[in-house]
Amino acid sequence: MRQKIVAGNWKMNTDLDSGIALAKAVNDSASSKTTDAIMIIAPPSTHLSEIQKVLTDVKMSTQNCASEEKGAFTGEVSVDMIKSTGAEYVIIGHSERREYFNEDSATLAKKVDLCLSRSLRPIFCIGEVLSERESNEHFNVVFSQLSDGLFHLSEDELKNIVVAYEPVWAIGTGVTASSDQAQEMHAFIRLKIAENYGKEVADSISILYGGSCKPDNAKELFANQDVDGGLIGGASLKAEDFIQIVNAF
Ligand code: PEP
C-alpha cells in the first residue's frame, strides 16, 4: 500500500509567533483525522526548531535546501542544519524555486542526493507551464523533469522519494487541474517510473497533486487511483481547511 500524504507548503508566510500558533492548530486538528494519511507542514526555515517542539502528530518539512554541504554560501540552509531541527522531508524543485531562483535539473539532482545522504525524504516537484500544456508538450516536460532529477537514483534511493505533480498554471491561481487531467499525468509519471525501475517500485511511490487544491475539490482529486495526496499551498495556512483536505480521503 502506498502512503497517503497531505503536505502544506506555507511558502514565505507567518512570523514566528503566528507560525507556532498555526502549527499548534494543525497538530490539534490531527486528532479529528479520519484517514491514515500522513500530515506534513513545511514552515519557513526560521521557525523549524520552535515548531518541532509543538508537533506530535504532524511531520515537518522544509521548502528547500542548499545544493552544497557547507561552507561559504551566505544565506543558504544545509541538509545538516535541516536534519538537526527534526524535519524529515524537504520540498525540492518547487516551480517557484525553478522560476524565480533559476534552479536547474542538475542543481535539483544534487539537492536530492544530499537529502538522501542524510535520510531526509525529498518531495520532488514537477509540472508544466500553461504554454507547454497548450502546445501539447506537457508529457515531455514532466518526463524530463522527472528523469533529470531522479532517474540517476538506485531503486532503494528512489523508494524514499515523494513526487509532487504541480501544473504551474494551477499553483496559486484558483484554477485546478481537472480530476481527469490529474489522473492522466499521475498515471504517466507512474508508468515512466515503472519503465525504469519496475512496477513494484512504481506502485510504492506516493505521487501528490498540487495546484489550488482546496476542501471543495480535494475529494474528487484524491479519489483517483494514482493520486496519493496533495501538496497544498494557500489552503494550508488555515488549519480548518488543511484538515478538511486531509479528511477528503
Ligand atoms: C504550491 O505552492 O505547492 C501550491 C500547490 O499552491 P496552491 O495550493 O496555493 O496552489
Tell me how far the alpha carbon of residue 190 lies from the centroid of ligand 1, in angstroms: 22
Look over the chain and give the mean of its residue pLDDT values, rounded to a whole number.
97
By most ligand atoms within 8 Å of CB, the mutation choice from 232, 237, 242, 246 for ligand 1 is 232
| pLDDT above 70 coverage of the chain, percent | 100
Pocket lined around ligand 1, Cβ cut-off 6 Å? 9, 166, 171-172, 210-213, 231-235
Q: Which among 206, 175, 237 has a CA at the least distance from the CA of 38?
A: 206
pTM summary value: 0.98
Q: Is the pLDDT of residue 249 over 80?
A: yes
Q: Which atom of ligand 1 is nearest to the CA of 96?
A: 2
| pLDDT above 90 coverage of the chain, percent | 98
- One of 3.40.50.980, 3.20.20.70, 1.10.150.240, 3.40.50.970 is the CATH number of 5-246, namely 3.20.20.70
Q: Which atom of ligand 1 is nearest to the CA of 166?
A: 5
pLDDT digits (tens, 9 = 90+) for 205-241: 999 999 999 999 999 999 999 999 999 999 999 999 9
Place of cell 523533469: 145
Burial 177-188 (b: 16+ CB within 10 A, else e): bebebbbebbeb
Tell me how far the alpha carbon of residue 209 lies from the centroid of ligand 1, in angstroms: 9
Residue 212, classed as helix, strand or coil, is coil
- Would you name the residues annotated as active-site residues? 94, 166
pLDDT digits (tens, 9 = 90+) for 60-98: 999 999 999 999 999 999 999 999 999 999 999 999 999
Query: Whose alpha carbon is nearest atom 2 of ligand 1?
Result: 233
Q: Which atom of ligand 1 is nearest to the CA of 125?
A: 3
User: C-alpha 229: how far from its chain's center?
Assistant: 10
Query: Whose alpha carbon is nearest atom 6 of ligand 1?
Result: 233
pLDDT digits (tens, 9 = 90+) for 131-145: 999 999 999 999 999
Tell me how far the alpha carbon of residue 173 lies from the centroid of ligand 1, in angstroms: 9
* pLDDT for the residue 246: 98
* pLDDT for the residue 1: 77
* pLDDT for the residue 111: 98
**H-type helices in the chain, by residue range?**
16-29, 48-52, 79-85, 95-100, 105-117, 130-134, 138-150, 155-158, 179-197, 199-204, 215-222, 239-246
User: pLDDT-derived band of residue 6, with 50, 70 and 90 as boundaries?
Assistant: very high
Indicate the DSSP class of residue 91.
E
So where are the chain's domains? 5-246
pLDDT digits (tens, 9 = 90+) for 24-40: 999 999 999 999 999 99
By most ligand atoms within 8 Å of CB, the mutation choice from 5, 13, 213 for ligand 1 is 213
* pLDDT for the residue 180: 97
Euclidean distance between CA atoms 235 and 192, whole angstroms: 30
User: How many C-beta neighbours within 10 Å does residue 75 have?
Assistant: 5
pLDDT digits (tens, 9 = 90+) for 156-194: 999 999 999 999 999 989 889 999 999 999 999 999 999
